[in-house]
Chains A and B, each alone.
Chain A
Amino acid sequence: MNHWLTAPILLPLLGGILQIFLSFAPLGLRRTLGLATTSLILVVSISLLLLADDGAYRVYALGNWAPPFGIVLVLDRLSALMLFMTALLALFCHIYSTRGTDAQGRHFHALFLFQLMGLNIAFLTGDLFNLFVAFEVLLIASYGLLMHGGGTARSVPGLHYVVLNLIGSSLFLISVGLLYSVVGTLNMADLAVKVPQVAPEDLPLVQAAGMMLLVVFALKAALLPLCFWLPRAYANATAPVAALFAVMTKVGIYAILRVYSLIFGDQAGPLANLGMDWLFPLALVTLAFGVIGALGADGLRKLVAWQVIISVGTLLAAISLHSEASTSAALFYLLNTTWVVGGLFLVTDLIARQRGSAADRIVTAPRMRSRTLLSVLFMIGATAAAGLPPLSGFFAKVLILESVKPSPEMGWLWSVILIGSFLTVIAYSRAGSIVFWRNVEGHVKDPGHLTLPVTVSAGALISLSLVIVALAEPINRYADATAEQLHTPSAYIEILQTPVVTRRESL
């Protein structure tokens, strides 16, 4: 039992509750408290990352109920990595929001913190039904955040997003119920033990449940037939929210990685690698679809939103190969793409604010006041996202390409990723050259100055790409170790042996 595991959940919960009570307090106080909470979450997640690096599983049994019966929180390398990635992204988004986004509605900080709480529960939980609850918590907060700032442009994509996710939640419940009715447990470790022992006549039921779970996670991750809601919703959200949402699709990817390596992994007998043969072609088609969307995008925000879909396709293609090397490469790419896409959303917002009525549309406009800085940031972000050397996206994609063994899949993966990257470069260079180089006479009324917090937060997220390159060796080592841990689920199952804490008789 390690009580620190509850910190990433309790901190945003308490911080968020405090924000609700303070919703009429001065904005400065709310900002200070909100930023302090997010910074604390980052500190805690860094310490959990260091803690998890020894490769052991740490378990926290809520209410001291022994594992298969109660809900457990489990910290392993993957959870710690996701926590850290989210916390770092969230801190910069939160700093950026102090530019004025948080003044558009009273509850921005509370919603932001509850969103973090939902994400952290999802990454830490070791129970399938608790994962559902975590999804609901983060979704409720995300509905509010997506609509934050109001306006017609947000309410309609918001409605689509909410309705789709409610249907997704129903499917999640149906599949969880199916699994429970056959297997009789919802603890992930216990499921991993019991799913291989399912009686042959019950196999189709478990199979159906597994495939429905894949549909639910694919909806969260925005895999192709289920991704049409994403570009409009993300392109219309306020910048810090869109940047934070760069991690929302990654929750679906995390869930796929966790459930399909642990419960339906290699050891699952007749259900081994369930659905992975579907995932690979769908991921490649998603990638191609994202590239086509990026080429046709009429605004910078839409372009970055399509980049989210491209990265989902790349990630799931690597994950569905189901080898240690490709999982490790996917994790490396995950870090790169989440931070860079988040940074690109912020930079795009900075650009849009300096172009008056042209906003983020890819059209000629008067020259921006801070053109040099913004164009450099955009170029670095685009280079890293598209995967050109010498930035992190290049190394991540090379790792993915190297991880696949010679097979027909290799041909598909290589061609789709390489052609896709090339076309992404075209999309970015077209957008960049029109926005930055083709200026018309005239001036924008009151373009506003870049203040230090927004420049630092947007710049920092983009330049994390450079940091990933500089620290590629330790990050790669960590990703390798994480992939190894994920592919040996027998160790995860041992958390079932966690003893409960007994009361000392002397007390």
Chain B
Amino acid sequence: MEILFAFVIGTLTASGVYLILRARTFPVVVGLTMLSYAVNLFLFATGRLVTAGQPIIGSAKSYTDPLPQALVLTAIVIGFAMTAFVVVLALRSRADTGDDHVDGQKEAFWPEPGAKPAPEETR
């Protein structure tokens, strides 16, 4: 079980890193999600892998560490909120720059010296 678990974490991390390095917003978001899955699994494993154990002392012969489960729960909630935010931000960046590259369109950000700056957006 340990080997399978480690293999899953490793694959998720590797795919996540690869996708983040793609430098397009959608792959980056998917990559971040994979990375956070890998991290969550890893955190879960820090309490050691136990099958059929309960997180309460005294209720069964063997017990499993409840703290990593609490940590994972926190990490999942935070990771989920962050993913939602970064999706919205990626859409916003796509709409603002007209391109899904993480740097946007180069021209929009490196104006020629002396060029008039883009007018500030007003609401």
Q: Please list the residues of chain A having a beta carbon within 8 angstroms of any beta carbon in chain B.
A: 104-105, 129, 133, 136, 140, 143, 147, 149-153, 155-156, 158-160, 162-163, 166-167, 169-170, 173-174, 176-178, 180-181, 298, 357, 359, 361
Q: Please list the residues of chain B having a beta carbon within 8 angstroms of any beta carbon in chain A.
A: 20, 25, 28, 32, 35-36, 38-39, 42-43, 45-48, 67-68, 71, 74-75, 78-79, 81-82, 85-86, 89-90, 92-93, 96-97, 102-104, 108-109, 113, 116-118, 120-121, 123
Q: Are B117 and A166 within 8 A (Cβ)?
A: no
- Closest A residue to B116 by CB, please name it: A357
Q: Are B46 and A177 within 8 A (Cβ)?
A: yes
A169 and B92 in contact (CB under 8 A), knowing A104-B123, A133-B74?
no
Chain B residues whose CB sits within 8 angstroms of the CB of A147 once the complex forms: 89, 92
The answer, among B25, B46, B117, B118, for a CB contact under 8 Å with A159, is: B25
Task: Report the minimal beta-carbon distance from A121 to chain B, rounded to whole angstroms.
Answer: 13
The answer, among B45, B78, B103, for a CB contact under 8 Å with A136, is: B78
Q: How far is the CA of A305 from the CA of B25 in the complex (A)?
A: 26
Task: Report the minimal beta-carbon distance from A444 to chain B, rounded to whole angstroms.
Answer: 14
The answer, among B20, B92, B118, B120, for a CB contact under 8 Å with A167, is: B20
The answer, among A129, A160, A167, for a CB contact under 8 Å with B35, is: A167
Q: Are A155 and B97 within 8 A (Cβ)?
A: yes
Q: Are B121 and A151 within 8 A (Cβ)?
A: yes
Task: Report the minimal beta-carbon distance from B49 to chain A, rounded to whole angstroms.
Answer: 11
Task: Report the minimal beta-carbon distance from B111 to chain A, rounded to whole angstroms.
Answer: 10
- Closest B residue to A180 by CB, please name it: B46
Main secondary structure of the interface of A (DSSP, over half): helix
Q: How far is the CA of A174 from the CA of B72 in the complex (A)?
A: 11
Task: Report the minimal beta-carbon distance from B120 to chain A, rounded to whole angstroms.
Answer: 6
Q: Are B86 and A166 within 8 A (Cβ)?
A: yes
Q: How far is the CA of A298 from the CA of B81 in the complex (A)?
A: 37
Chain B residues whose CB sits within 8 angstroms of the CB of A166 once the complex forms: 32, 35-36, 82, 86
Q: Are A177 and B25 within 8 A (Cβ)?
A: no
The answer, among B28, B36, B92, B120, for a CB contact under 8 Å with A170, is: B36
A152 and B82 in contact (CB under 8 A), knowing A159-B25, A159-B102?
no
Chain A residues whose CB sits within 8 angstroms of the CB of B81 once the complex forms: 140
Q: Are B85 and A140 within 8 A (Cβ)?
A: yes
Chain A residues whose CB sits within 8 angstroms of the CB of B108 once the complex forms: 152
Q: Are B42 and A357 within 8 A (Cβ)?
A: no
Q: How far is the CA of A365 from the CA of B84 in the complex (A)?
A: 44
Chain A residues whose CB sits within 8 angstroms of the CB of B102 once the complex forms: 156, 159-160, 163
Chain B residues whose CB sits within 8 angstroms of the CB of A167 once the complex forms: 20, 32, 35
The answer, among A136, A163, A177, for a CB contact under 8 Å with B86, is: A163
Q: Are A162 and B123 within 8 A (Cβ)?
A: no
Q: Are A173 and B32 within 8 A (Cβ)?
A: no
Q: How far is the CA of A163 from the CA of B36 in the complex (A)?
A: 12
The answer, among A143, A170, A178, A298, for a CB contact under 8 Å with B46, is: A178
The answer, among A104, A155, A160, A180, for a CB contact under 8 Å with B67, is: A180
A152 and B46 in contact (CB under 8 A), knowing A170-B36, A177-B71, A357-B117?
no
Chain A residues whose CB sits within 8 angstroms of the CB of B104 once the complex forms: 152, 155-156
Chain A residues whose CB sits within 8 angstroms of the CB of B42 once the complex forms: 173-174, 177
Q: Are B93 and A359 within 8 A (Cβ)?
A: no
Task: Report the minimal beta-carbon distance from A167 to chain B, rounded to whole angstroms.
Answer: 7
- Residue among B35, B36, B75 with most chain A CB within 10 A: B75
Q: Are A129 and B71 within 8 A (Cβ)?
A: yes
Q: Are B75 and A162 within 8 A (Cβ)?
A: no
Chain A residues whose CB sits within 8 angstroms of the CB of B20 once the complex forms: 163, 167
Beyond A151-B120, A152-B104, A159-B90, list 13 extra A-B contacts (CB 8 Å).
A143-B85, A149-B120, A150-B123, A151-B96, A152-B109, A153-B109, A156-B104, A167-B35, A173-B42, A174-B39, A176-B71, A178-B46, A180-B67
- Closest B residue to A143 by CB, please name it: B85
Chain A residues whose CB sits within 8 angstroms of the CB of B43 once the complex forms: 173, 176-177
Task: Report the minimal beta-carbon distance from B68 to chain A, rounded to whole angstroms.
Answer: 7
Q: Are B78 and A169 within 8 A (Cβ)?
A: yes
Chain A residues whose CB sits within 8 angstroms of the CB of B92 once the complex forms: 147, 155
Q: Which 8 A-B pairs have the closest CB atoms?
A: A181-B46, A151-B121, A177-B46, A152-B96, A156-B104, A177-B43, A155-B93, A173-B39
Chain B residues whose CB sits within 8 angstroms of the CB of A136 once the complex forms: 78, 82
Q: How far is the CA of A298 from the CA of B32 in the complex (A)?
A: 34
29 contacts between A and B (CB under 8 A): A133-B74, A136-B82, A140-B81, A143-B89, A149-B120, A149-B121, A150-B123, A151-B96, A151-B120, A152-B118, A155-B92, A155-B93, A155-B97, A155-B104, A156-B97, A156-B102, A159-B90, A160-B102, A163-B102, A166-B82, A167-B35, A170-B39, A173-B75, A174-B42, A177-B39, A177-B46, A177-B71, A180-B46, A180-B71
